[in-house]
Amino acid sequence: MSKENTFYITTPIYYPSDKLHIGHTYCTVATDSFARYKRLRGYDVMFLTGTDEHGQKIEEKAKEAGVTPQQFVDKIVEGEGGILDLWKLMNISNDRFIRTTDDYHVKSIQRIFRRMYDAGDIYKGKYSGMYCTPCESFWTESQLVDGKCPDCGRPVKYAEEEAYFFKLSKYAQPVKELLLTGEFLQPMSRVNEMIKNFIDPGLEDLCVSRTSFSWGIPVDFDPGHVVYVWVDALSNYITALGFDNDRYDDFDHYWPAVHIVGKEIVRFHSIIWPAMLMSMGLPLPKKVYGHGWLLIDGGKMSKSKGNVADPYLLAERYGVDALRFFLMRTFPFGSDGNFSNELLISCINADLANDLGNLVSRTGAMVKKYFGGTLPAEQEGDDAMDGELIAMASALHEKYAAEMDAFQPQNAIGEVFKVLSRANKYIDENAPWLLIKDETKKARLARVLYNLVETIRICAGLLVPFMPETAAEITRRMGADAIVWDDLCRFGVLPADVTVAQGDALFPRIDMDKELAALEEISAAQKAAAGAVNTEPVRPNVKIDDFAKCDLRVCKILACEKVPNSEKLLKFTLDDGSGKPRQILSGMQPFYPDPAVLVDKKVVAILNLPTRKMAGLESNGMLLSAEQGDLVRLCLVPDEIPAGAIIS
């Protein structure tokens, strides 16, 4: 096949530092949908995904787990329930899977490093800067946000070491020009971000080797240095095609690529990667598309938010196609979206069970009931009644293709669902259940059903990138042999006397309340199993002003004794910083059998509570304590904080 007809698409290579979550799945499913779409269009597609296995973070995690880094990544990538299993489960159609620990990649990287060195673009220097270990990124002071890593918000630390640098600054102008073409990086908002945040403030040369850890690819001409992550990681897109290695020989055929990446790594793909390619004199990628993030409760995905967003669990409960469809249907590809189980269930109920599933089963049932499963060839059209549906179904492929070509799967699916809704309305308008009652209207009824079958065939075929199995099943039921692009562009492909098959409900309706309750239980059980201490939901928000009304201060315990005739109360005499002792009673006796140990300790008290009388004594405030089950302790404050200090 000629090169004009090739399409090379990639996902980022994932860090095998932990199990992947629904956010990673989103990125891979989207890329898979684009790859499947291009195959449908007849392209010779190469779809690559893989894992980014080197670096300090992995080295540290392996150490914690007491295994070698290679053993650690092998388990996450190839082990049961690992990354390869997840992609298999999600029906990802990648043609290749690269691991940066693969021998051929390692050799290529050493050659690539030398190429840039020989081009005069790599020099030795000293790196000092603020370093974020989890992100493996150095940052300048001005890039930090509140002194923390601008990507992940975690603390950074000062670091200094001998390192090789890549002359990124040399490429600032050509990279800016590339970005300004508007074609290379999309969506356009990301272009503005890159120019404003990185290029215009001045590109700094990039640290490309490290000496402080060893889990990486050694620089062959300077042992002790390992190639620092981004040169290793970004080059995967060409080494996987055989660039600078003998494993494959597809570079000339498939390169350049379309890179689908999350927004936080757009900078690496749209600035550093083209500069590296320029240095090597190689063609630049066709496109970088920076998609948004899936968030939970408006924030980053994290384990503490529970595992109801675990792709394995969701695929098991609702089916792989439903999950894939939901991801592509619900979130605009270029922007962030808030994931929730509720959204997922409503999407399945509204779009899949109702609009699509019902249409398929109603149509199948009517063809069976009225004609025994095969339509008669004698049919009667009615332009006024049929025109709009046929026009919409016939024009669908063009609108759909425009959206898919612009990497807008959500809109492409939206176009398909406009036609499906129209088809549902068409049933009501034509009322087949009335037509059947009139013997003279049989031919008309047959045509109504034929139009529905054809519309469903086209719509299902266009959903194949998102729901491969379901689309194939619907196509089969509608009596078509295969999903072929040209056939999706034409209405009237099926013979008039088509035989339609029936089957189980494609997407049974889910009872939202019951399902959410079941998920809640699963989540609580998972948290408990993972050792979570408290699965109580967080109480409703309070305004910061309301919180500020509480006068919380550090108090030093001057004296502490049991209250006579009480089994619970202790009487605290406190220095609250005012110069006048304060008395507070607290039910701490069961937890501090020897109250004397508390003397001189500093605790937190809320002072502005109304005076209360307990066991005949006054209590002016309350001491804060922490409790878990039977364990209760006063909240203690470090000794260097003076009594009277305000807690805010």
Q: Which is nearer to ligand MSP, 27 or 460 (CB)?
A: 27
Strand, coil or helix: what is 380? coil
Least distance in angstroms from the C-beta of 410 to ligand MSP? 14
Q: Residues 9, 27, 109, 623: which binds ligand MSP (CB under 6 A)? A: 27
15 touches ligand MSP by CB under 6 A: yes
Structure token pair of residue 307: 């595992």
Residue with smaller CB distance to ligand MSP, 293 or 507: 293
Binding pattern for the stretch 262-281 against ligand MSP, x by CB under 6 A and - elsewhere: x-xx----------------
Instruction: Give yes or no for residue 13 binding ligand MSP (CB under 6 A).
Output: yes
Q: Helices (H) and strands (E) in the chain — how many of each?
A: 24, 25
Instruction: Kindly identify the residues of this chain, within the stretch 564-593, that bind ligand MSP according to CB under 6 A.
Output: none
Nearest alpha carbon to residue 53 among 13, 12, 113: 13
In the complex, minimum distance from the CB of residue 293 to ligand MSP, in angstroms, rounded to a whole number: 4
Nearest to 299 by CA among 571, 23, 629, 492: 23
Q: How far is the CB of 10 from ligand MSP (least distance, A)?
A: 8
Pick the closer one to ligand MSP by CB: 258 or 265.
265
Shortest approach of ligand MSP to residue 266 CB, angstroms?
9
Q: How far is the CB of 260 from ligand MSP (least distance, A)?
A: 8
Smaller CB separation from ligand MSP, 286 or 368: 286
Residue selected from 84, 178, 288, 294 as contacting ligand MSP according to rule CB under 6 A: 294
Q: Which is nearer to ligand MSP, 234 or 643 (CB)?
A: 234
Which residue's CB is nearer to ligand MSP, number 215 or number 400?
A: 215
The CA-to-CA distance between both ends of the chain, in Å, stands at 68
CB of 50 or CB of 479, closer to ligand MSP: 50
Choice from 8, 26, 47, 326 touching ligand MSP (CB under 6 A): 26
The angle at the Cα of 386, spanning 380 to 392, to the nearest 5 degrees, equals 140
Q: Give 190's Cβ-side CA count (13 Å radius).
A: 28
Do 337 and 331 form a contact (C-beta atoms < 8 A)? yes
Question: CB of 417: closest distance to ligand MSP in angstroms?
Answer: 23
Our measurement of the distance from residue 361's CA atom to the centroid of its chain's CA atoms, rounded to an integer in Å, reads: 33
Q: What is the rounded CA–CA span in Å between residue 508 and residue 510? A: 6
Applying CB under 6 A, which of residues 8, 72, 293, 466 lies at the interface with ligand MSP? Answer: 293
Residues in the chain: 648
Among 8, 14, 87, 131, binds ligand MSP (CB under 6 A): 14
Per-residue binding letters, 32-61, with ligand MSP (x by CB under 6 A)? --------------------x---------
Which stretch in 20-28, 38-46, 313-321, 572-580 sits in contact with ligand MSP by CB under 6 A? 20-28
Determine the Cα–Cα distance for residues 15 and 239; give it in Å rounded to an integer: 18
By CB under 6 A, the residues from 207 to 266 that bind ligand MSP are 233-234, 236, 261-262, 264-265
Residue range at the interface with ligand MSP (CB under 6 A); choices 10-18, 34-42, 496-504, 575-583: 10-18
Q: Bridge-partner residues for 48, per DSSP?
A: 10, 96
Which is nearer to ligand MSP, 87 or 370 (by Cβ)? 87
Closest CA to 44 of 9, 90, 87: 9
Q: Minimal CA–CA distance to 33: which of 483, 466, 472, 470?
A: 466
Rounded-to-integer distance, Cα 626 and Cα 124, Å: 53
Q: How far is the CB of 209 from ligand MSP (least distance, A)?
A: 17
Q: For residue 125, what are the β-bridge partners?
A: 163
Using CA atoms, how far residue 514 sits from 61, 320, 351, 510, 521, in Å, is: 39, 21, 20, 8, 11
Find the part of the chain contacting ligand MSP (CB under 6 A) among 24-32, 137-145, 526-534, 636-644. 24-32
Kindly state the number of chain residues that form the binding site for ligand MSP, as judged by CB under 6 A: 19
CA separation for the pair 629, 366 (Å, rounded):
61
Q: Smallest gap, in angstroms, from Cβ of residue 135 to ligand MSP?
A: 9
Q: How far is the CB of 54 from ligand MSP (least distance, A)?
A: 10
Judged by CB under 6 A, the residue of 7, 9, 12, 329 near ligand MSP is 12
Pick from 551, 560, 563: nearest CA to 624: 551
* Of 170, 167, 156, 169, nearest in space to 128 by CA: 156
Least distance (Å) between residue 30 CB and ligand MSP: 9
**Nearest one of 455, 480, 470 to 357, comparing CA atoms:** 470
What SS3 state is found at 520? helix
- Cα(617)–Cα(398) distance, integer angstroms: 82
**Which region, judged by CB under 6 A, interacts with ligand MSP, from 7-15, 396-404, 451-459, 568-576?**
7-15
Nearest CB to ligand MSP, comparing residues 264 and 398: 264
- The residue among 301 and 313 lying less far from ligand MSP, judged by its C-beta, is 301
Short-list 346, 340, 261, 343, CA closest to 301: 340
CA distance 108 to 245: 6
CA distances from 379 to 128, 366, 386, 451 (A): 79, 16, 13, 11
Residues 362 and 354: their CA atoms lie apart, in Å, by 11
Q: Which is nearer to ligand MSP, 261 or 607 (CB)?
A: 261
**Ranges within 299-328 binding ligand MSP (CB under 6 A):** 301
State the residues that interact with ligand MSP by CB under 6 A. Answer: 12-15, 23-24, 26-27, 52, 233-234, 236, 261-262, 264-265, 293-294, 301
